[in-house]
Every structure is written in structure tokens, then in C-alpha cells.
Amino acid sequence: MNKLTRRPCVAGNWKMQGSYSMIETLLGELHQQEQYLQGIDVILCPPFVYLERVAKMLQRQESTFLLGAQNTYCEEKGAYTGEVSAAMLKDVGCQYVIIGHSERRQLFAESDELIARKFRAAYHAGLTPILCLGETQAERVSGQTFAVIRRQLDSVLEVAELNCFNRAMIAYEPVWAIGTGLTATPEQANEVHTTLRGWIAESDPKIASGVRILYGGSVKASNAKELFCEPNVDGGLIGGASLEGQAFLSICHSATYDT
Ligand code: PGA
């Protein structure tokens, strides 16, 4: 299975941004050009409180866009004030969930172990986890990139079955490139993606060749195409640029095979 057999995917991570009026405008803009985005999965990941609104609007537009959340908790239900379970996300219409974003790891002190448990819970609830991995600037400079990413991947594989990657996706997001305007070069991104795929192939070549690996970190309309052309880059996880209709559409279009 090569790149052409993996369906490209672009996910927009809105982070803690959005409002009812912004949703109206952005989804209106996206919908006008949705018809030109063939053969690709486009996922919108708004904050929890807007999931249902976005789900309803996508339904009304008869949109093919998919819905994702930015986080979930690892338990099914119970006394976990402020948390949201994967089953609840499913209930409001989510199909995807971002797990282990570096902002969760850094600002909210999420450990590899917690992330692994969230990943497993999301998968078992029927969601598609998008597992984020990536090194900091200091880790890259000191030559630890591959050790860090391997640790992040292995901690998930200790808790969840490799088989989960028949459905789950990976997003390689170098921390130094997130929201900084710095982007990994296409070669840097592809090097990590190829290594990740190689590690999975050591256990199961079939799963490895099918798993979609997205790149994230300052992807813009101007650099998306060169990144997405790389043989092991199957699309992107987009932060800032996913809030601007035209920029996001252009990025999505760069991931289709007819560019
Ligand atoms: P960015 O964010 O595109 O704004 O760099 C990417 C992400 O955090 O997923």
C-alpha cells in the first residue's frame, strides 16, 4: 500500500477559539467550496461547547465534513468534574478526537500514561483518535527527536493494541513549530513520518502502510502543498489557519490528489 491508497486528511484544530457567529461565517464559507474537495477527509475540531452546533450545521448543509473533539477523558463516566467522556463525544456526533496535543502535555501536564489511557478509551468508544507526538526545540537540538517520539508512541502501544492503528491516526507535531510560524521542512517532516511508519511496520507491515500520519505545526496555504507531497505525509493538523475559511480551503485542496 503506498501513499495513493491512503485517503488524505486535513483536520482543523480550533483550540480555544470560536463563537456562534464565527461558526456561522466559517462554515458558510467552507460549504461554498466543499464540492471541490474530493477524495479527502476534512475534520473540524471546535471546542466542546460548540460541537453540537457544528454537528447540526454540517447536517443541515448536508456536508461531508467530519467532526472531532480536541480532548476527552480516559474514564467512561463518574465523578470527574469538568471532564467529557468519549461516549459523550460520540453521542453529540463526533467521529474523531485529538489525543495528546502538545498543549495538553505541556500546559495541562498530561503524562504519556494518561494520554495512552485516553487513546484507548477513545478507540473503544468507537472514535478515531488522532494521536499527537512531537519533540521540543531543545529535544531536537540535542538530537533526541527520535527517542522522544518513540517513547510517546511506545507508551500508547503499551496500553492499547497495535490494531487500533487500523483506525487511529498519528499527527507529528514538532512543538517548536506549533503556533510559532516555524515549519518543519518537508524533508524533516517526512523523515519522522517514515521512521514512525517503519516502527509500526516492525510489528505489522499492513497496519503500517495503511495508517495515516498527518503533519502539524504552522501549516499555511503557502507551505501545505510541499509538505503534503511528501511520500509519508498524509495530510495535516491545522491550528491557526483552520480559523480562516479561504486559507483552510486552500490547505485542504493542497491535500487532494488533483492539485
Ligand atoms: P498551528 O497549530 O497550525 O497554529 O501551528 C497546529 C496545532 O497545534 O495542531
Residue with the nearest Cα to atom 7 of ligand 1?
A: 239
Q: Read off the pLDDT band of 4 (50, 70, 90).
A: confident
Computed on alpha carbons and rounded to an integer, the radius of gyration of the chain in Å comes to 17
Residues with CB under 6 A from ligand 1: 13, 173, 178-179, 216-219, 237-241
Residue 257 pLDDT: 82
CATH number at residue 185: 3.20.20.70
**What are the pLDDT digits (tens) for 68-100?**
999 999 999 999 999 999 999 999 999 999 999
Q: Which atom of ligand 1 is nearest to the CA of 171?
A: 9
Residue with the nearest Cα to atom 6 of ligand 1?
A: 239
Q: Which domain holds residue 124?
A: 7-212+227-243
Closest-CA residue to 9 (of 39, 38, 41)? 41
Q: Which atom of ligand 1 is nearest to the CA of 240?
A: 4
Residue with the nearest Cα to atom 9 of ligand 1?
A: 239
Mean pLDDT of 10-36: 97
Query: Over 60: is that where the pLDDT of 259 sits?
Result: no
**What are the pLDDT digits (tens) for 107-120?**
999 999 999 999 99
**Amino acid, res. 165:** F
Q: Are 68 and 11 in contact (CB under 8 A)?
A: yes
Q: Read off the pLDDT band of 2 (50, 70, 90).
A: confident
From 13, 102, 223, mutation site for ligand 1 pocket: most ligand atoms within 8 A of C-beta: 13
Report the separation in Å between the CA atom of 103 and the middle of ligand 1, taken as the mean of its atom positions. Answer: 10
Mean pLDDT of 28-45: 96
Residue with the nearest Cα to atom 3 of ligand 1?
A: 239
Residue 258 pLDDT: 66
Mean pLDDT of 56-67: 98
Identify which has the larger pLDDT, 179 or 90. Answer: 90
Cell 489511557, residue located: 117
Q: Which atom of ligand 1 is nearest to the CA of 180?
A: 5
From 108, 173, 176, 251, mutation site for ligand 1 pocket: most ligand atoms within 8 A of C-beta: 173
Active site residues: 101, 173
When mean pLDDT is compared across 81-85, 151-155, 179-183, 239-243, the lowest value belongs to 179-183
Integer distance in angstroms from the first to the last C-alpha of the chain? 21
From 170, 178, 180, 242, mutation site for ligand 1 pocket: most ligand atoms within 8 A of C-beta: 178
Residues 6+ apart with CB under 8 A from 16: 47
Structural domain total, the chain: 1
- Asked whether residue 167 is domain-assigned, the answer is yes
Rounded mean pLDDT of the chain? 97
- Asked whether residue 218 is domain-assigned, the answer is no
- Asked whether residue 21 is domain-assigned, the answer is yes
Q: Read off the pLDDT band of 57 (50, 70, 90).
A: very high
CA 86/CA 124 separation, integer angstroms: 9
Report the separation in Å between the CA atom of 123 and the middle of ligand 1, taken as the mean of its atom positions. Answer: 23
**What are the pLDDT digits (tens) for 244-258?**
999 999 999 999 986
